[in-house]
Structure 1
Amino acid sequence: MSVIQSITAAARRRDFNLGVLNGVLFGGVDTLFDPSLVLVTFASFLTDSPILLGLVYPMSQAGWFLPQLWVSGWFQSKPTALPIYRVMAVIRTICLVLLALTAYAVKDKGWQLLLFFTLLMANQLAAGFSGLSFMDVVAKVVPPGQRGLFFAWRLSLGSLLGVGAGVWVRSLLSETSPIRFPNNFALMFAVASVLAAAGMAAFAALREPINQALVPRASLIGQLRRARTALQTDTNFRGFLGLRLALIGGSMATPFFTVFAAQRLQVAAGAVGIFLSANIAASLVAYIVWGQLSARRGNRYVLRIGAGLGVLVLAFALMAWPLSRLLGAQTLIVLIFILVGVRDAAVGVSLGPLLLDMAPPAARSLYIGFTNTLVGITVLLTGIGGFIVDGAGFPALFVISLLAYAAATWAIWRFREQPLPG
């Protein structure tokens, strides 16, 4: 190996490791800022409206996705992606710090809830502006055959930090905790802001290659026209979008599992930490398995298993009454969150690499931007979950989500995975 090749290999390892470090630190952030557990629980102290509680998850997710098609029209003409990531990193850190201060200092519940939703959406919109640059840099830095492993390392090692954070969340939310609401949540949000700032600094330090496949800047309408052409000519892209939307519909019920456990199965609020730790521990093991399986069998194979697990999770939720008598209510919900962790690990390891693998370099920002904006709109629509629970009850929502996962299972079996280069 020549000196130049050695330097190049060392630079790739450095960038790979920095990307993994970013994922590790955000493993802690994601636990302390978990929308279906921590954020919903925080909001439940401020309101008992299922409609408002049902908005927490879609708002926390949609903001990351929504801006990306518009951003892609400008982004595709730029040789580098990291400058916008660095600017958004500063904005996101400010939002998280203000959220911690809101939880600590604002005493009126109405204002606290309003500021919570406002800062949550602002943070996620800023994350959306940087999300496209994140995916583009990953596509440049990580070879196609290693992308599944890259996400697996990020997510598995991040889960280690997440397990510890989950134990801490459990202690902060327990009835014996010396730190009571809202100071316990303020502390969690403050620590999350520190971890997020360090994680974004690590990713911002990557050495990004210059993008050689530049496309002239386009308006939002122009990007929509290009997306329509891509959908007409690329059957895999159409299939991927159908799969992605079905997975979102399937996950609509996930934020309500803890609310269902508390309101219908009488599980104590302090058990949230147990659910969180079980979920993360299961994910930790699953990431390693799915990452290796992705490298050997491909991303489609892993997604097939993940979609099937989604069906199983909802079947367990629908059978909660008899199963809770057999296993105990808390044990049942722990089992459900273990399966959710394994399911989400399969999707997390394989879904992003599958999109990057099939997107042509010159159209990569378009494929990512259009997919994520469409996903963001769909995630916002999942806010209807709260209305479904309010009007028809938890079982109706669980049935709808089960059917969506069944559709995702069908879609992934029809998907044709393209062979990796080399």
Structure 2
Amino acid sequence: MDECRDREAIAALVERNYRWNFMANFMDLALFWFGNSFISGVTILPLFVERASGSRFLVGVVAALSQAGWYLPQLLTANYVERRPLRKPIAVKVGLFSERLPLWFLALSAFLLAPSRPGPALALFFVAYAWHVLGAGAIAPAWQDMVARVIPADRRGRFFGLSSFTGSALGAAGAVLS
């Protein structure tokens, strides 16, 4: 009986905060996809590495880092996240340092070092990119579980679809304008 009341109370709380949670997470995810259009591990970054190094091997390392960096850390952090009472502090605080901060170093390697010093630029790039994708993979279970808790299942498809579409449209618009 208590479990039923708890579920009803949780559902009411989720519904009461739905608009805020939808918009806050929508903006986060749409802006993530927009930003990702500038650092795509499938197109932009391999081209950057190829132009800076001329090495096909290093281009392959970018692809391997993209995949391994996203999936492997989840194996290590999922159990920890599962035992934590709150997911948001992990997703926000750890994510800021482990996923978002390294992006500034990626920009630094591309804009300040690459034209004049490609060797150090590539070294900084690989350190920052590994830091970014490993950080993203590490916080993924917390972020995904947090979204699953605050966006009802029957509205999650709309949430992810609108967020991805908006971020991709912003990326396409940015490409046209630049």
The AA in structure 2 aligned to 1:98 is F
Gaps of at least 5 residues in structure 1 are 172-422
Instruction: Tell me how far apart the structure 2 counterparts of residues 85 and 8 of structure 1 sit (CA, whole Å).
Output: 18
Where in structure 2 are the equivalents of 1:188-207 lying within 5 Å?
none
TM-score by length of 1: 0.37
Contact 2:77 2:139 in 1 (8 A): no
What's 1:126 paired with?
135
> What is the root-mean-square deviation in Å for CA atoms of aligned residues?
2.0
Instruction: Please say if 1:45 is aligned against 2:45.
Output: no
Contact 1:32 1:165 in 2 (8 A): no
Where in structure 2 are the equivalents of 1:18-417 lying within 5 Å?
18-91=24-97, 92-106=99-113, 107-168=116-177, 171=178
Instruction: Tell me how far apart the structure 2 counterparts of residues 87 and 41 of structure 1 sit (CA, whole Å).
Output: 31
Contact 1:84 1:129 in 2 (8 A): no
Instruction: Tell me how far apart the structure 1 counterparts of residues 158 and 87 of structure 2 sit (CA, whole Å).
Output: 23
Instruction: Tell me how far apart the structure 1 counterparts of residues 48 and 19 of structure 2 sit (CA, whole Å).
Output: 40
| Percent identity (aligned) | 30
* C-alpha displacement of 1:39: 0.8
Structure 1 or 2: more helix by fraction: 2
* C-alpha displacement of 1:73: 1.9
What's 1:197 paired with?
none
Instruction: Tell me how far apart the structure 2 counterparts of residues 65 and 83 of structure 1 sit (CA, whole Å).
Output: 21
Gaps of at least 5 residues in structure 2 are 1-10
Could you give the per-residue CA deviations for residues 379-403 of structure 1, whole angstroms, max 9, x where no partner exists? xxxxxxxxxxxxxxxxxxxxxxxxx
* C-alpha displacement of 1:8: 5.5
Could you give the per-residue CA deviations for residues 59-109 of structure 1, whole angstroms, max 9, x where no partner exists? 123212211121122221111111111222321332111221222332322
Contact 2:73 2:137 in 1 (8 A): yes
Instruction: Tell me how far apart the structure 2 counterparts of residues 150 and 142 of structure 1 sit (CA, whole Å).
Output: 8
Instruction: Tell me how far apart the structure 2 counterparts of residues 31 and 8 of structure 1 sit (CA, whole Å).
Output: 31
Larger radius of gyration: 1
How many residue pairs were aligned?
Answer: 165
* C-alpha displacement of 1:6: 8.4
- Give the secondary-structure state (helix, strand or coil) at the position aligned to 2:111: helix
* C-alpha displacement of 1:115: 1.5
The AA in structure 1 aligned to 2:53 is T
* C-alpha displacement of 1:44: 1.5
- Give the secondary-structure state (helix, strand or coil) at the position aligned to 1:18: helix
The AA in structure 2 aligned to 1:68 is Q
Contact 1:99 1:119 in 2 (8 A): yes
Contact 2:105 2:124 in 1 (8 A): no
Pair 1:74–1:89, CA change in 2 (3 A): closer
Instruction: Tell me how far apart the structure 1 counterparts of residues 36 and 25 of structure 2 sit (CA, whole Å).
Output: 16
Question: Hey, which bits of structure 1, 4+ residues long, moved more than 4 A?
Answer: 5-8
